Chain A
Amino acid sequence: MRAVCWHGKQDVRVDTVPDPEIVQKGDVIVKVALTCICGSDLHLYNGYVPTMKKGDILGHEFVGEIVAACPGVTHFRVGDRVIVPFPISCGACWYCKHELWSLCDNTNPNSWMMEHIYGDTGGGIFGYSHLYGGYAGGQAEYVRVPFADVGLEKIPDGIPYEQVVLLTDIMPTGYQAAVYCNINPGDTVAVWGCGPVGLLAMKSAKLLGAERVIGIDRFPDRLQMAHSQCQAEVLNYEEVDVAEQLQNMTGGRGPDSCIDAVGLEARGTGIEDVYDLVKQTLRLETDRASALRQLVRACRKGGTLSISGVYSGFIDKFPMGAIFAKGLTVRGGQAHVHKYLPHLVKLVAEQQIDPSSIITHRMSLEDAPAGYRTFLKKQDSCIKIALTPEHAAPKTEPASP
Chain B
Amino acid sequence: METSATEQSRAYRGQSRQKRVNVGPGERKASMAGGAALALSGLWSIGRRNYLSGLAMIASGGMLLYRGQTGHCGMYEAMGVDTVHTQGSGLRIEKVVTIGLPPHQVYEFWRHLDNLPRFMKHLESVQVTGERTSHWKAVGPGGLSTEWDAEMMEDTPGQQISWHSVGSADIPNKGTVEFKEAPGNRGTEVRVSIDYYPPGGTAGRAAMKIAHGLNAQQLEEDLKRLKQILEVGEETTARRTA
Q: Would A24 and B48 count as touching, CB distance under 8 A?
A: no
Distance in angstroms between the alpha carbons of A103 and B240 in the assembled complex:
22
Contact of B231 among A23, A90, A146 (CB under 8 A): A90
Distance in angstroms between the alpha carbons of A109 and B237 in the assembled complex:
6
As a 0/1 sequence over residues 103 to 122 of chain A, the CB contacts with chain B under 8 angstroms (1 = contact) are 00111011110010000000
Q: Which of A52-108 contact B (CB under 8 A)?
A: 90, 92-94, 97, 105-107
Q: Would A92 and B232 count as touching, CB distance under 8 A?
A: yes
As a 0/1 sequence over residues 36 to 63 of chain A, the CB contacts with chain B under 8 angstroms (1 = contact) are 0000000000000011000000000000
Q: Would B238 and A51 count as touching, CB distance under 8 A?
A: no
As a 0/1 sequence over residues 111 to 125 of chain B, the CB contacts with chain A under 8 angstroms (1 = contact) are 000000000000000
Distance in angstroms between the alpha carbons of A308 and B44 in the assembled complex:
32
Distance in angstroms between the alpha carbons of A136 and B187 in the assembled complex:
32
- With contacts A94-B187, A106-B227, A112-B217 taken as known, whether A25 is within 8 angstroms of B236 at the C-beta atoms is no
Chain B: residues with Cβ within 8 Å of the partner, total of 23
B239: CB under 8 A from chain A? Answer: yes
| Most chain B CB atoms below 10 A, which of A23, A25, A90, A106 | A106
B175: CB under 8 A from chain A? Answer: no
Q: Would A111 and B224 count as touching, CB distance under 8 A?
A: yes
Chain A residue, CB-CB nearest to B48: A50
- With contacts A90-B236, A106-B227, A107-B236 taken as known, whether A21 is within 8 angstroms of B241 at the C-beta atoms is yes
Q: Would B242 and A21 count as touching, CB distance under 8 A?
A: yes
Distance in angstroms between the alpha carbons of A23 and B227 in the assembled complex:
19
Contact of A94 among B186, B234, B237 (CB under 8 A): B186
Chain B residue, CB-CB nearest to A123: B236
Q: Would A21 and B100 count as touching, CB distance under 8 A?
A: no
B221: CB under 8 A from chain A? Answer: yes
B228: CB under 8 A from chain A? Answer: yes
Q: Would A51 and B48 count as touching, CB distance under 8 A?
A: yes
Chain B residue, CB-CB nearest to A116: B217
Chain A residue, CB-CB nearest to B239: A23
Q: Which of A129-150 contact B (CB under 8 A)?
A: 133-136, 144, 146
Q: Which residues does chain A contribute within 8 Å of B232, judged by CB atoms?
A: 90, 92-93, 106
Q: Which residues does chain B contribute within 8 Å of A144, judged by CB atoms?
A: 240
Distance in angstroms between the alpha carbons of A19 and B241 in the assembled complex:
8
Distance in angstroms between the alpha carbons of A93 and B220 in the assembled complex:
18
A209: CB under 8 A from chain B? Answer: no
Q: Would B48 and A23 count as touching, CB distance under 8 A?
A: no
| Most chain B CB atoms below 10 A, which of A105, A110, A144 | A105
Chain A residue, CB-CB nearest to B187: A94
- With contacts A92-B231, A106-B231, A112-B221 taken as known, whether A20 is within 8 angstroms of B236 at the C-beta atoms is no
Closest Cβ of chain A: how far from B201's Cβ, in Å? Answer: 32
Q: Which residues does chain A contribute within 8 Å of B14, judged by CB atoms?
A: none
Chain B residue, CB-CB nearest to A90: B232
Q: Which of B179-230 contact A (CB under 8 A)?
A: 186-187, 217, 220-221, 224, 227-228
Q: Which residues does chain A contribute within 8 Å of B98, judged by CB atoms?
A: 94
A124: CB under 8 A from chain B? Answer: yes
Q: Which residues does chain A contribute within 8 Å of B167, judged by CB atoms?
A: none
- With contacts A50-B48, A111-B224 taken as known, whether A136 is within 8 angstroms of B236 at the C-beta atoms is no
Contact of B238 among A90, A93, A105, A136 (CB under 8 A): A136
A22: CB under 8 A from chain B? Answer: yes
Q: Which residues does chain B contribute within 8 Å of A124, judged by CB atoms?
A: 236, 238
B233: CB under 8 A from chain A? Answer: yes
Distance in angstroms between the alpha carbons of A124 and B98 in the assembled complex:
19
Q: Would A109 and B233 count as touching, CB distance under 8 A?
A: no
Q: Report B's interface with A, CB cutoff 8 A.
A: 48, 98, 100, 186-187, 217, 220-221, 224, 227-228, 231-242
Q: Give the 8 A-B residue pairs with the shortest CB-CB distance, closest first.
A: A134-B238, A135-B238, A20-B240, A92-B231, A21-B241, A21-B242, A136-B240, A106-B228
